[in-house]
Amino acid sequence: MANLRVTNYSAMLPRDRPKFDAPEIRRWRRRLLSWYDRNRRDLPWRQDRDPYRVWLSEIMLQQTRVSAVVEHYRRFLRRFPTVQKLASAREPAVLAAWSGLGYYRRARMMHAAAKAIVKQHAGRFPGGIAELRALPGIGRYTAAAIASIVFDVPTAVVDGNVERVLGRVFGSGLTGEGFWQAAEALLSRKRPGDFNQAMMELGATVCLPRQPRCSACPVFDLCATRGDIDVPKKLSRQQRRDICYALDHRNRSVFLVQRPKHSSLMPGMWELPEIPAAKQPNPGSFTLRHSITVTDYTVRVMRGPAPGTSKGRWVPRKSIPRLPLTGLTRKILREAHVIQ
Protein backbone atom coordinates (compact mmCIF):
# COMPACT_ATOMS: atom_id res chain seq x y z
CA MET A 1 0.00 0.00 0.00
CA ALA A 2 2.80 2.38 0.88
CA ASN A 3 4.25 2.05 -2.64
CA LEU A 4 0.87 2.56 -4.24
CA ARG A 5 0.46 5.75 -2.32
CA VAL A 6 3.83 7.04 -3.46
CA THR A 7 3.08 6.15 -7.08
CA ASN A 8 -0.29 7.87 -7.00
CA TYR A 9 0.87 11.09 -5.52
CA SER A 10 4.50 11.53 -6.36
CA ALA A 11 3.93 13.19 -9.71
CA MET A 12 1.63 15.82 -8.36
CA LEU A 13 3.12 16.61 -5.00
CA PRO A 14 4.98 19.85 -4.52
CA ARG A 15 7.45 18.06 -2.27
CA ASP A 16 9.63 20.14 -0.03
CA ARG A 17 7.78 23.25 -1.07
CA PRO A 18 9.74 26.22 0.26
CA LYS A 19 6.70 28.36 1.05
CA PHE A 20 3.10 29.18 0.10
CA ASP A 21 2.12 31.99 -2.23
CA ALA A 22 -0.49 34.55 -1.14
CA PRO A 23 -3.57 32.74 -2.53
CA GLU A 24 -2.43 29.49 -0.90
CA ILE A 25 -2.01 31.23 2.44
CA ARG A 26 -5.52 32.65 2.19
CA ARG A 27 -6.84 29.21 1.30
CA TRP A 28 -5.03 27.65 4.24
CA ARG A 29 -6.49 30.14 6.71
CA ARG A 30 -10.02 29.85 5.31
CA ARG A 31 -10.02 26.03 5.28
CA LEU A 32 -8.40 25.61 8.66
CA LEU A 33 -10.61 28.10 10.47
CA SER A 34 -13.85 26.83 8.99
CA TRP A 35 -12.83 23.25 9.84
CA TYR A 36 -12.03 24.37 13.39
CA ASP A 37 -15.38 26.15 13.75
CA ARG A 38 -17.14 22.90 12.90
CA ASN A 39 -14.90 20.39 14.64
CA ARG A 40 -13.31 21.93 17.69
CA ARG A 41 -13.54 19.85 20.82
CA ASP A 42 -15.75 21.19 23.55
CA LEU A 43 -13.14 21.70 26.27
CA PRO A 44 -13.79 23.53 29.53
CA TRP A 45 -11.08 26.15 28.96
CA ARG A 46 -12.63 27.10 25.63
CA GLN A 47 -15.83 28.38 27.19
CA ASP A 48 -14.50 31.89 27.61
CA ARG A 49 -11.28 33.84 27.18
CA ASP A 50 -10.52 34.42 30.82
CA PRO A 51 -6.72 34.82 30.99
CA TYR A 52 -6.38 32.92 34.27
CA ARG A 53 -8.26 29.91 32.90
CA VAL A 54 -6.43 29.93 29.58
CA TRP A 55 -3.10 30.18 31.40
CA LEU A 56 -4.01 27.33 33.75
CA SER A 57 -5.01 25.08 30.84
CA GLU A 58 -1.86 25.87 28.87
CA ILE A 59 0.37 25.02 31.83
CA MET A 60 -1.53 21.83 32.66
CA LEU A 61 -1.47 20.69 29.03
CA GLN A 62 2.32 20.81 28.87
CA GLN A 63 3.49 17.20 28.82
CA THR A 64 0.01 15.97 29.75
CA ARG A 65 -2.82 14.61 27.60
CA VAL A 66 -6.10 16.54 27.27
CA SER A 67 -8.09 13.64 28.72
CA ALA A 68 -5.92 13.62 31.85
CA VAL A 69 -6.13 17.38 32.28
CA VAL A 70 -9.90 18.01 32.17
CA GLU A 71 -10.77 16.75 35.65
CA HIS A 72 -7.66 18.23 37.27
CA TYR A 73 -8.43 21.56 35.62
CA ARG A 74 -11.96 21.62 37.08
CA ARG A 75 -10.76 20.57 40.51
CA PHE A 76 -7.99 23.18 40.59
CA LEU A 77 -10.41 25.92 39.58
CA ARG A 78 -12.84 24.93 42.31
CA ARG A 79 -10.01 25.25 44.83
CA PHE A 80 -8.43 28.40 43.31
CA PRO A 81 -11.04 30.18 41.17
CA THR A 82 -9.01 33.37 40.67
CA VAL A 83 -5.41 34.44 40.35
CA GLN A 84 -5.79 36.28 43.67
CA LYS A 85 -6.86 33.08 45.45
CA LEU A 86 -3.91 31.24 43.96
CA ALA A 87 -1.48 34.01 44.91
CA SER A 88 -2.59 34.00 48.54
CA ALA A 89 -2.50 30.21 48.93
CA ARG A 90 0.21 28.30 50.76
CA GLU A 91 2.44 26.15 48.59
CA PRO A 92 1.39 22.78 50.08
CA ALA A 93 -2.24 23.58 49.24
CA VAL A 94 -1.27 24.40 45.62
CA LEU A 95 0.72 21.18 45.31
CA ALA A 96 -2.15 19.21 46.83
CA ALA A 97 -4.53 20.59 44.19
CA TRP A 98 -1.98 19.72 41.49
CA SER A 99 -1.51 16.21 42.81
CA GLY A 100 -1.83 13.53 40.16
CA LEU A 101 -0.69 15.73 37.27
CA GLY A 102 3.04 15.34 37.89
CA TYR A 103 5.80 17.77 36.92
CA TYR A 104 5.18 19.75 40.10
CA ARG A 105 7.60 22.47 39.07
CA ARG A 106 4.78 23.77 36.87
CA ALA A 107 2.57 24.27 39.93
CA ARG A 108 5.33 26.03 41.85
CA MET A 109 6.01 28.36 38.92
CA MET A 110 2.31 29.12 38.50
CA HIS A 111 2.13 29.97 42.17
CA ALA A 112 5.11 32.32 41.86
CA ALA A 113 3.66 33.89 38.71
CA ALA A 114 0.28 34.44 40.42
CA LYS A 115 2.04 36.33 43.20
CA ALA A 116 3.88 38.45 40.62
CA ILE A 117 0.64 39.23 38.75
CA VAL A 118 -1.02 40.37 41.96
CA LYS A 119 1.99 42.35 43.18
CA GLN A 120 3.33 43.85 39.97
CA HIS A 121 0.20 44.07 37.82
CA ALA A 122 -2.50 44.68 40.45
CA GLY A 123 -4.02 41.26 39.71
CA ARG A 124 -4.58 41.98 36.00
CA PHE A 125 -2.94 39.75 33.43
CA PRO A 126 -0.49 41.60 31.20
CA GLY A 127 -1.36 41.29 27.50
CA GLY A 128 2.07 41.90 25.98
CA ILE A 129 4.43 39.08 25.02
CA ALA A 130 7.43 40.59 26.82
CA GLU A 131 5.53 41.14 30.07
CA LEU A 132 4.08 37.64 29.93
CA ARG A 133 7.51 36.11 29.34
CA ALA A 134 8.86 37.95 32.35
CA LEU A 135 6.55 35.89 34.58
CA PRO A 136 7.87 32.65 36.14
CA GLY A 137 7.18 29.54 34.09
CA ILE A 138 5.94 31.39 31.00
CA GLY A 139 8.14 30.75 27.97
CA ARG A 140 7.82 31.58 24.30
CA TYR A 141 5.04 29.12 23.56
CA THR A 142 2.86 29.90 26.60
CA ALA A 143 3.25 33.68 26.20
CA ALA A 144 2.21 33.45 22.54
CA ALA A 145 -0.72 31.16 23.36
CA ILE A 146 -2.11 33.46 26.08
CA ALA A 147 -1.49 36.64 24.07
CA SER A 148 -3.20 35.33 20.94
CA ILE A 149 -6.10 33.43 22.56
CA VAL A 150 -6.98 36.02 25.21
CA PHE A 151 -5.77 39.33 23.80
CA ASP A 152 -5.92 38.73 20.02
CA VAL A 153 -2.22 39.50 19.63
CA PRO A 154 -1.23 38.32 16.12
CA THR A 155 1.53 35.94 17.08
CA ALA A 156 1.90 32.27 16.16
CA VAL A 157 2.51 29.32 18.48
CA VAL A 158 4.57 26.22 17.83
CA ASP A 159 4.20 23.13 19.95
CA GLY A 160 4.79 19.47 19.09
CA ASN A 161 1.49 19.21 17.21
CA VAL A 162 2.17 22.30 15.11
CA GLU A 163 5.68 21.12 14.33
CA ARG A 164 4.33 17.81 13.07
CA VAL A 165 1.71 19.46 10.85
CA LEU A 166 4.19 21.96 9.38
CA GLY A 167 6.86 19.30 8.92
CA ARG A 168 4.46 17.24 6.83
CA VAL A 169 2.91 20.12 4.97
CA PHE A 170 6.24 21.56 3.88
CA GLY A 171 7.83 18.17 3.25
CA SER A 172 11.05 18.51 5.15
CA GLY A 173 13.83 20.87 5.93
CA LEU A 174 12.05 22.87 8.63
CA THR A 175 13.89 23.00 11.91
CA GLY A 176 13.91 25.16 15.02
CA GLU A 177 13.26 28.77 14.11
CA GLY A 178 11.97 27.69 10.68
CA PHE A 179 8.82 26.26 12.31
CA TRP A 180 8.10 29.57 13.99
CA GLN A 181 8.62 31.50 10.75
CA ALA A 182 6.38 29.13 8.80
CA ALA A 183 3.66 29.36 11.47
CA GLU A 184 3.90 33.18 11.47
CA ALA A 185 3.57 33.28 7.69
CA LEU A 186 0.37 31.22 7.77
CA LEU A 187 -1.19 32.90 10.83
CA SER A 188 -4.56 34.58 10.46
CA ARG A 189 -4.15 38.15 11.70
CA LYS A 190 -7.90 38.47 12.14
CA ARG A 191 -8.37 35.41 14.38
CA PRO A 192 -4.92 34.56 15.76
CA GLY A 193 -6.17 32.74 18.86
CA ASP A 194 -8.58 30.53 16.93
CA PHE A 195 -5.99 29.96 14.23
CA ASN A 196 -3.37 28.80 16.74
CA GLN A 197 -5.83 26.51 18.45
CA ALA A 198 -6.90 25.17 15.04
CA MET A 199 -3.31 24.30 14.14
CA MET A 200 -2.85 22.44 17.42
CA GLU A 201 -6.26 20.78 17.09
CA LEU A 202 -5.39 19.57 13.58
CA GLY A 203 -2.23 17.95 14.92
CA ALA A 204 -4.01 16.45 17.92
CA THR A 205 -7.01 14.99 16.11
CA VAL A 206 -6.21 14.58 12.37
CA CYS A 207 -2.50 14.84 11.62
CA LEU A 208 -1.75 12.15 14.18
CA PRO A 209 1.82 11.07 14.94
CA ARG A 210 1.72 7.57 13.53
CA GLN A 211 -1.30 7.44 11.28
CA PRO A 212 -2.45 10.82 9.97
CA ARG A 213 -6.10 10.87 8.89
CA CYS A 214 -5.37 12.60 5.60
CA SER A 215 -8.77 11.84 4.08
CA ALA A 216 -10.36 13.99 6.81
CA CYS A 217 -7.80 16.79 6.56
CA PRO A 218 -9.06 20.25 5.57
CA VAL A 219 -5.70 21.24 4.04
CA PHE A 220 -5.04 18.01 2.18
CA ASP A 221 -4.48 19.68 -1.19
CA LEU A 222 -1.93 22.07 0.30
CA CYS A 223 0.12 19.36 1.94
CA ALA A 224 3.39 18.22 0.38
CA THR A 225 3.44 14.72 1.87
CA ARG A 226 -0.21 13.78 2.41
CA GLY A 227 0.63 11.03 4.80
CA ASP A 228 3.46 9.67 2.70
CA ILE A 229 5.93 10.00 5.50
CA ASP A 230 8.65 8.08 7.17
CA VAL A 231 7.68 7.52 10.76
CA PRO A 232 10.90 7.21 12.70
CA LYS A 233 10.88 4.10 14.80
CA LYS A 234 10.59 5.14 18.38
CA LEU A 235 13.27 3.56 20.48
CA SER A 236 11.70 2.47 23.70
CA ARG A 237 13.52 4.10 26.57
CA GLN A 238 10.94 2.72 28.98
CA GLN A 239 12.43 0.92 31.95
CA ARG A 240 10.80 -1.44 34.43
CA ARG A 241 11.20 -1.27 38.18
CA ASP A 242 9.70 -3.00 41.19
CA ILE A 243 8.99 -0.96 44.27
CA CYS A 244 7.39 -1.75 47.60
CA TYR A 245 5.57 0.50 50.09
CA ALA A 246 4.19 0.02 53.60
CA LEU A 247 0.59 1.06 54.18
CA ASP A 248 0.10 1.49 57.92
CA HIS A 249 -3.47 2.56 58.57
CA ARG A 250 -4.63 2.70 62.18
CA ASN A 251 -7.14 4.68 64.21
CA ARG A 252 -8.30 6.48 61.07
CA SER A 253 -4.77 7.78 60.37
CA VAL A 254 -2.09 6.79 57.85
CA PHE A 255 1.66 6.89 58.37
CA LEU A 256 3.25 9.09 55.67
CA VAL A 257 6.76 10.41 55.01
CA GLN A 258 7.84 13.61 53.29
CA ARG A 259 10.29 13.60 50.39
CA PRO A 260 13.42 15.69 51.02
CA LYS A 261 13.03 19.40 50.22
CA HIS A 262 16.14 19.26 48.00
CA SER A 263 15.04 16.13 46.09
CA SER A 264 15.16 16.61 42.32
CA LEU A 265 11.92 14.66 41.97
CA MET A 266 8.77 15.88 43.72
CA PRO A 267 10.55 17.72 46.56
CA GLY A 268 8.49 18.17 49.72
CA MET A 269 5.66 15.87 48.57
CA TRP A 270 4.18 13.24 50.91
CA GLU A 271 4.16 9.52 50.23
CA LEU A 272 4.02 6.11 51.88
CA PRO A 273 7.32 4.83 53.29
CA GLU A 274 9.25 2.72 50.83
CA ILE A 275 10.37 -0.65 52.14
CA PRO A 276 12.55 -3.45 50.78
CA ALA A 277 10.61 -5.85 48.61
CA ALA A 278 9.13 -8.65 50.70
CA LYS A 279 9.19 -12.16 49.30
CA GLN A 280 5.90 -13.15 50.89
CA PRO A 281 2.92 -10.83 50.55
CA ASN A 282 1.02 -10.41 53.80
CA PRO A 283 -2.79 -10.55 54.05
CA GLY A 284 -4.37 -7.56 52.37
CA SER A 285 -1.30 -6.64 50.33
CA PHE A 286 -1.91 -5.73 46.73
CA THR A 287 -0.06 -4.83 43.55
CA LEU A 288 -0.65 -2.09 41.01
CA ARG A 289 1.13 -0.58 38.06
CA HIS A 290 2.26 3.00 37.69
CA SER A 291 4.29 4.88 35.06
CA ILE A 292 6.39 7.98 35.63
CA THR A 293 8.10 9.44 32.55
CA VAL A 294 10.35 6.61 31.29
CA THR A 295 9.80 4.11 34.09
CA ASP A 296 7.02 1.54 34.43
CA TYR A 297 6.68 0.52 38.08
CA THR A 298 5.23 -2.63 39.51
CA VAL A 299 4.15 -1.41 42.90
CA ARG A 300 3.59 -3.81 45.78
CA VAL A 301 1.80 -2.40 48.81
CA MET A 302 2.25 -4.28 52.11
CA ARG A 303 -0.19 -3.58 54.88
CA GLY A 304 1.56 -3.01 58.19
CA PRO A 305 4.16 -0.86 59.87
CA ALA A 306 7.09 0.71 58.07
CA PRO A 307 10.61 -0.04 59.29
CA GLY A 308 11.48 1.76 62.52
CA THR A 309 13.91 4.03 60.70
CA SER A 310 11.18 5.80 58.73
CA LYS A 311 10.72 9.35 59.95
CA GLY A 312 7.22 10.41 59.19
CA ARG A 313 3.94 11.46 60.66
CA TRP A 314 0.51 10.06 61.33
CA VAL A 315 -1.96 11.94 59.15
CA PRO A 316 -5.68 11.73 59.90
CA ARG A 317 -7.66 10.45 56.93
CA LYS A 318 -9.73 13.58 56.70
CA SER A 319 -6.56 15.75 56.37
CA ILE A 320 -5.00 13.66 53.61
CA PRO A 321 -6.76 15.37 50.66
CA ARG A 322 -5.23 18.71 51.73
CA LEU A 323 -1.71 17.29 51.73
CA PRO A 324 0.52 17.45 48.61
CA LEU A 325 0.66 13.71 47.91
CA THR A 326 2.64 12.13 45.10
CA GLY A 327 0.39 10.82 42.34
CA LEU A 328 1.39 7.25 43.14
CA THR A 329 0.51 7.62 46.83
CA ARG A 330 -2.88 9.08 45.93
CA LYS A 331 -3.44 6.13 43.62
CA ILE A 332 -2.50 3.61 46.32
CA LEU A 333 -4.70 5.25 48.96
CA ARG A 334 -7.64 5.24 46.55
CA GLU A 335 -7.05 1.62 45.67
CA ALA A 336 -7.00 0.78 49.41
CA HIS A 337 -10.20 2.85 49.95
CA VAL A 338 -8.44 5.12 52.43
CA ILE A 339 -9.41 8.20 50.42
CA GLN A 340 -11.90 8.73 47.62
Binding to ligand SF4 by residue 220, rule CB under 6 A? yes
Integer CA distances (angstroms), 54 to 34, 139, 167, 197, 263, in order: 22, 15, 27, 12, 30
Q: How far, in Å, CA of 166 to CA of 185, rounded?
A: 11
What φ, ψ does residue 296 adopt, rounded to 5°? -100, 120
Binding to ligand SF4 by residue 10, rule CB under 6 A? no
Contacts with 203 (C-beta within 8 Å, 6 or more apart), sequence order: 159, 160, 161, 162, 164, 165
**Binds ligand SF4 by CB under 6 A, chosen from 167, 193, 212, 273:** 212
Alpha helices, DSSP H, located in the chain: 2-10, 22-39, 51-61, 66-79, 83-87, 91-98, 105-120, 129-133, 140-151, 160-169, 177-186, 192-205, 327-335
Q: How far, in Å, CA of 257 to CA of 271, rounded?
A: 6
Least distance between ligand SF4 and beta carbon 224 (Å): 8
Binding to ligand SF4 by residue 199, rule CB under 6 A? no
Judge contact between 189 and 26, C-beta under 8 A: no
Binding to ligand SF4 by residue 69, rule CB under 6 A? no
By CB under 6 A, which span of 36-44, 153-161, 224-232, 242-250 interacts with ligand SF4?
224-232
Binding to ligand SF4 by residue 149, rule CB under 6 A? no
Catalytic residue among 24, 58, 271, 335: 58
Binding to ligand SF4 by residue 249, rule CB under 6 A? no
Least distance between ligand SF4 and beta carbon 202 (Å): 7
Nearer to ligand SF4, 86 or 162 (CB): 162
DSSP states along 78-92: HH--SHHHHHTS-HH
Whether 58 is catalytic: yes
Nearer to ligand SF4, 11 or 130 (CB): 11
Binding to ligand SF4 by residue 174, rule CB under 6 A? no
What φ, ψ does residue 291 adopt, rounded to 5°? -120, 135
**Binds ligand SF4 by CB under 6 A, chosen from 87, 146, 174, 217:** 217
Binding to ligand SF4 by residue 329, rule CB under 6 A? no
Integer CA distances (angstroms), 158 to 11, 15, 150, 166, in order: 30, 22, 17, 9
Least distance between ligand SF4 and beta carbon 113 (Å): 34
**Binds ligand SF4 by CB under 6 A, chosen from 87, 89, 129, 169:** 169
| DSSP 8-state secondary structure symbol assigned to residue 170 | S
Binding to ligand SF4 by residue 225, rule CB under 6 A? yes
Question: Residues interacting with ligand SF4, by CB under 6 A?
Answer: 165, 168-169, 206-207, 212-214, 217, 219-220, 223, 225-227
Task: Give the residue numbers marked as catalytic.
Answer: 58
